[in-house]
Structure 1
Amino acid sequence: MKGYSVSHVYRGLMCFTKGTNAQIYNSTTKKLVVLPDIEESNIIAKDHKFNKIIYHIAHDPVHDQYKVVCIVSRLKVVKLLLEHWVFTLGGGVSSRWRKIPCTCPPHSPFTRGLTINGSMYYLALVPNSMKPLFVRFDISSEKLSVLQKPEDAFWCRYYYTEIIEYDGRIAILDHADLVHDGVMDLWVREDEQKNRWSRMKRVLHPSQMNMIKTHIVHNMSLRVQGTTRNGDVILVPQPQVTTHFYVFLYNLQKNHFRKVEIKSNRYNTKRWDVVGFDDIENLMYL
């Protein structure tokens, strides 16, 4: 699939995107489905070059269905345009995108998003505000809501903030000071109703810092690309190195940091993606 990149991987389903086009590949059945265009979108119809489009795969535990969520946003002068769309995979459901009413303030997601316990979570920017929104999309009811963030959290370097899963719970990781100081801040949600979060600080050992300093040089940085099945945070070098492929894996609980090289002589590429797979085989018919 030339020109496509991996947007999201969930339970053996892989979402590949190129601009406004999206395809879903089932890694178990080896089936590929091309999703239809979102023809009724008022934002995409204008000029997709200035749009921000996010595709995310999720599972509806109530109806036992897999759905693709598409969030489209575009800043127009001082006004932010926003649309949420849902497409149901398989099951004989009408193969059309459905627009979801949004009661949240207009926003633009800046995190990849996390699907856990039947909901999708992401952080988003709001025009003329330094305070990001913490948004939840319920996959079954298809309703959006704004949640409370940690009271002591203030993120101004959004590129270095990501929502991850930590020990089965929702967590927000800030790694803005990782490359220079070897420090990461982690907020783990303990109680949603009481908005109770526990804050942890992770500091790398000198030997671990030497590993980063050796490979992350000049204007390079690290980007969080989800977690592995063992809970290791995947850190990908930016910009991407094309002479040899490697990532860093960091276990937040054990404070274990290591480099993993990806050896392959089969492909000559200027672009590569890193995703974390789970152990679930998905036999659904696309």
Structure 2
Amino acid sequence: MDYRSKCPSIHGFVSCCNGLQFIVCNPSTRQVITLPIKGPRASLGYDPVGEQFKVLNLVSSPDMYLGFLVHEVITLGGGGEESRNQVTTAPYYPVTKGLYINGSIYHGAWAPRLRMDPVIVCFDVRYESLSFIKAPRVVVVQERESILIDYKGKLASIAINPYAPFQIFDLWILEDVNKHDWSKQTFELPFSLVNMTSPGTNKAGEIIFAPKTLPPTVQPFFIFYYNVETKDIRRVCLHGIADDKEFWRRYGLRHNMCVSISPEHVESIASL
């Protein structure tokens, strides 16, 4: 797992892929469920109407250039039970991790083949259907380095120049899913950010910027919050993370460990 891996938090549960295993965990109850999957790309979603967690797993290899792609939808029930269903779509080439927002899972892709038309693939968790949303090329052109976030309940993208310091960025917001309508705003930070990305926003709508990896030596660990309305940025130190040797020894960590932050995580006593 590298820094591009994410552990999103959905209704108190976090998830991640580990090879052909998909792991769902409730940090509050410490319940862990490990699901076998048929492909290395999988994302957790939630149906708010049926109150069910579902995993979308891309089964087909996009490199085979078939006329279609097969997905497996795994529905999680009580007591660790599960059911599986297949969904077939037109071909596309996924390039980003999945992002869950309000009943849908989004990820950036090219359709139908690599570096052709930029799209956002949208999976409706309740109806188990996939659709394609036209996207500005800049939203997906950096592929695995592309930054998709939940911005005030809408899909958004932070686009930066990969050949320049991370100080100026464009915020693209998907304003209308049906009309494929995007808005764009440009912001300039008061200083450059090094080795950082954005896991999303907090409840106040501030954009979070956090390191991709732990610092190479024992030192304070900082994250930043940027207010797009006031253009103010604040720095917060997270004590007890990488700032003493005991932290590294306790968890048996090595240098260049990836960091995954789950914005707006809430504690839950629910179980699967």
Which residue in 2 is equivalent to 1:136?
Answer: 122
Q: What is the alpha-carbon distance in structure 2 between the residues aligned to residue 71 and residue 234 of structure 1?
A: 29
Residues 64-143 of structure 1 mapped to structure 2, 5 A cutoff: 64-72=51-59, 74=61, 76=63, 82-91=69-78, 94-101=81-88, 103-108=89-94, 110-126=95-111, 127-143=113-129
Q: What is the alpha-carbon distance in structure 2 between the residues aligned to residue 236 and residue 72 of structure 1?
A: 32
Q: What is the alpha-carbon distance in structure 1 between the residues aligned to residue 206 and residue 134 of structure 2?
A: 26
Aligned residue among 262, 267, 277 for 2:247: 267
- Structure 2 gaps of 5+ residues are none
Which residue in 1 is equivalent to 2:227?
Answer: 251
Q: What is the alpha-carbon distance in structure 2 between the residues aligned to residue 204 and residue 136 of structure 1?
A: 31
1:159 to partner: Cα distance: 4.3
Contact kept, 8 Å, 2:139 with 2:146, in 1: the verdict is no
1:95/1:128 CA distance change after superposition, 3 Å = closer
1:180 to partner: Cα distance: 1.7
1:119 to partner: Cα distance: 1.0
Q: What is the alpha-carbon distance in structure 1 between the residues aligned to residue 44 and residue 139 of structure 2?
A: 29
1:132-191: per-residue Cα shift (whole Å, max 9, x none)?
2211000011011111225x8575333443222222322222123696262111122223
Which letter maps to 1:59? Y
- Structure 1 gaps of 5+ residues are 45-52
Equivalent residue of 1:267, what SS? helix
1:24/1:280 CA distance change after superposition, 3 Å = same
2:42 is aligned with 1:55:
yes
Which residue in 2 is equivalent to 1:8?
Answer: 8
Which residue in 2 is equivalent to 1:237?
Answer: 211
Equivalent residue of 2:7, what SS? strand
1:75/1:239 CA distance change after superposition, 3 Å = farther
Equivalent residue of 2:165, what SS? helix
RMSD of the alignment, in Å? 3.1
Aligned residue among 191, 198, 221 for 1:224: 198
The runs of 4+ residues in structure 1 deviating greater than 6 Å are 77-81
1:231/1:54 CA distance change after superposition, 3 Å = farther
Aligned residue among 156, 170, 182 for 1:197: 182
Which letter maps to 2:33? V
1:6/1:172 CA distance change after superposition, 3 Å = closer
Q: What is the alpha-carbon distance in structure 2 between the residues aligned to residue 263 and residue 280 of structure 1?
A: 20
1:275/1:237 CA distance change after superposition, 3 Å = closer
Contact kept, 8 Å, 1:160 with 1:174, in 2: the verdict is no
Contact kept, 8 Å, 1:22 with 1:34, in 2: the verdict is yes
Q: What is the alpha-carbon distance in structure 1 between the residues aligned to residue 47 and residue 118 of structure 2?
A: 27
Q: What is the alpha-carbon distance in structure 2 between the residues aligned to residue 189 and residue 227 of structure 1?
A: 15
Contact kept, 8 Å, 2:109 with 2:121, in 1: the verdict is yes
Equivalent residue of 2:156, what SS? strand
1:279/1:18 CA distance change after superposition, 3 Å = closer
Q: After the TM superposition, which of the residue ranges 196-205 and 169-178 deviates more from structure 2?
A: 169-178
Q: What is the alpha-carbon distance in structure 2 between the residues aligned to residue 61 and residue 97 of structure 1?
A: 19
Taking CA–CA contacts closer than 8 Å with sequence separation of 6 or more, which of the two structures ends up with the larger relative contact order?
2
1:169/1:154 CA distance change after superposition, 3 Å = closer
How many residues end up aligned between the 2 structures? 255
